Structure 1
């Protein structure tokens, strides 16, 4: 297959991996959060990321037949959610909120980058736009949680 095609697959697999990391990071944050509302928010975000991946994987299999669902990448992209997981284990609601903001901003940027790919199938683009919109809504919610600090 072409390099452009392979790059697109790599980008989509990168989103899957980052969402997996975010799911785990939010789960860890929920375990460490002191505020019950914040704990519930983190649980909800963990479930969202799990759902995002299930939806995207289904459509990727339809379009590409095979995906590397568990593979690791050596690309230049920063592993944002790996840092999130480390900071979430700090047991500090304020640092968890700050890291959630940073992680969500990075997610929005990554979704936008993939959506700029002209080779993206329309069905996958629709899913990515919806997920990006949800992440943007979550980012606004997290920013509105300043009172938890």
Structure 2
């Protein structure tokens, strides 16, 4: 496997995770009653959409094909499936807990990719920025969870 293909494969895994997170956040925003939580979830969805655009651009830069938004890996899909099941109950604390769990999974994936010391500086910088934003979202969601419990 060539170096550029290896990088693109890693970025595609993160791309799929971001597509799924964006959809999960949009579903969460539609479900909760709290205006504050609606705004929080919509902002996270927009953020994840931006991450996906940046990842797509990098993948294309390496001459590889970005995955489509419709292609979800089984694990990624399951991460948000339980969140969707919670929507019918409109339990804001449970929805926040599931969002935190999904973000913690994303954070782990980013950390795993960032362990690769052969990443080009532009990719490393982009992924570090995404990782930091995901960590900030986790921290904010935990504060919001305390407020609704």
Give TM-score scaled by structure 1 length: 0.85
Q: 1:88 to 1:130 in 2, by over 3 A?
A: farther
- Which of 85-94 and 104-113 deviates more? 85-94
Please tell me whether the aligned partners of residues 28 and 89 of structure 1 are also in contact (alpha carbons under 8 angstroms).
no
State how far apart, in whole Å, the 2-side matches of 1:36 and 1:73 are: 32
- Which of 59-68 and 133-142 deviates more? 59-68
Report runs of 4+ in structure 1 exceeding 6 Å deviation.
none
Counterpart position of 2:52: 53
State how far apart, in whole Å, the 2-side matches of 1:15 and 1:52 are: 9
State how far apart, in whole Å, the 2-side matches of 1:8 and 1:89 are: 39
- Which of 95-104 and 112-121 deviates more? 112-121
Q: 1:73 to 1:64 in 2, by over 3 A?
A: farther
Counterpart position of 1:120: 119
State how far apart, in whole Å, the 1-side matches of 2:12 and 2:83 are: 19
State how far apart, in whole Å, the 1-side matches of 2:23 and 2:97 are: 17
Q: Equivalent residue of 1:144, what SS?
A: helix
Structure 1: gaps of 5 or more residues: none
Is 1:129 matched with 2:106? no
Counterpart position of 1:141: 140
Is 1:107 matched with 2:111? no
- Which of 52-61 and 128-137 deviates more? 52-61
CA displacement at 1:21 relative to structure 2? 0.8
Number of residue pairs the alignment of both structures matches: 147
Please tell me whether the aligned partners of residues 5 and 62 of structure 2 are also in contact (alpha carbons under 8 angstroms).
no
Let me know the Cα RMSD of the aligned residues.
Answer: 2.3
State how far apart, in whole Å, the 1-side matches of 2:68 and 2:24 are: 18
Q: 1:87 to 1:68 in 2, by over 3 A?
A: same
Structure 2: gaps of 5 or more residues: none
Q: Equivalent residue of 1:119, what SS?
A: coil
State how far apart, in whole Å, the 2-side matches of 1:58 and 1:13 are: 11
State how far apart, in whole Å, the 2-side matches of 1:138 and 1:41 are: 9
